[in-house]
Amino acid sequence: MSAPQDLASRAKKRISRFRILIIGRANAGKTTILQRVCRSTENPEIYDRYGKKIDGAIIEGTAERGLHDIENEMIFKSNPGFVFHDSRGFEAGGTDELNKVKTFIAARANEKSLPDRLHAIWYCIPMDDHHRAFTAAEIGFFTCGTGSVPVIVLFTKMDALCTEAFQKLTEGGMSKDQAFDEAAEHANKMFEDMPHVKHLYNKKNTPYPPKSHVCLHEMHKLDADSSGLIEETTSALGDDVLKQLFVSTQQTNMEICMKYALKRYDVLGLVGL
């Protein structure tokens, strides 16, 4: 076994499962993102906190709503190394849900057993709903710490901005062909001018900002690229063993796996031995 593979193997033996909490409003595209990361077109299997599988008839059509229990584990057959927990977004009046999430994070961040510990949080913000302001509960999430668990914000459904940009360009007199060619660039400028990112990293508003963020495009496509999410999550992890476990578990980008494995061994001065 090669040196990088050996490190990843030892990491898996030590931890065995990488645990992620995904948070988002209704229709934020959470399940689709998890499917792309796990290379699956199927819904995940759901297990309760005691490891008992929940009946498929109950699961049907409820994946986006998280089955209303953050303790439930979502596992894809295609990649059982990942364990996902799902929370509904903090909608208007969602203080109860926020409190459940805070309690869950506090407990899981301090688990003595590494496999049971929460390793990362993906917080989804859909850009097809960008005109809607953050609710008090949503803002409240970033005013409470998550301990050593890094938060990565996922701006989902970025395609909606391209559609909006196309409409604005054509309404301004541009031909449809030209507007189609320039829509993506214009959408990026629109995003840069929006208050979302500035708000998230302004410590006056959010004392505990996310570690990073990533924009996700066309995740509805089966060949959608999730490498940006993988890289940002890996960078946000503070522990080298967790980094190696995460990149080896995700399986969707071998280039990233080798990059971080070799980087680790280069730091140790083992490359070329």
pLDDT at position 273 over 70: no
Tally of domains in the chain? 1
**Is position 250 within any domain?**
no
User: pLDDT, tens digit, for every residue of 63-104?
Assistant: 444 456 899 999 999 999 999 999 987 775 567 888 899 999
Residue 200: predicted pLDDT: 87
**Is position 165 within any domain?**
yes
Cβ-based neighbours of 211, under 8 Å, separated by 6 or more:
150, 151, 152, 235, 236
**Is position 156 within any domain?**
yes
User: pLDDT, tens digit, for every residue of 94-125?
Assistant: 678 888 999 999 999 989 888 899 999 999 99
Q: Give the 3-state secondary structure of residue 201.
A: coil
Which structural domain, as residue segments, surrounds residue 165? 17-242
CA–CA distance, 37 with 26 (Å, rounded to integer): 20
Q: Give the 3-state secondary structure of residue 18.
A: strand
User: pLDDT, tens digit, for every residue of 201-210?
Assistant: 888 888 999 9
Side chain identity at 210, as an amino acid letter?
P
**Is position 160 within any domain?**
yes
CA–CA distance, 183 with 162 (Å, rounded to integer): 5
* CB 98 within 8 Å of CB 140: yes
pLDDT at position 170 over 60: yes
**Is position 87 within any domain?**
yes
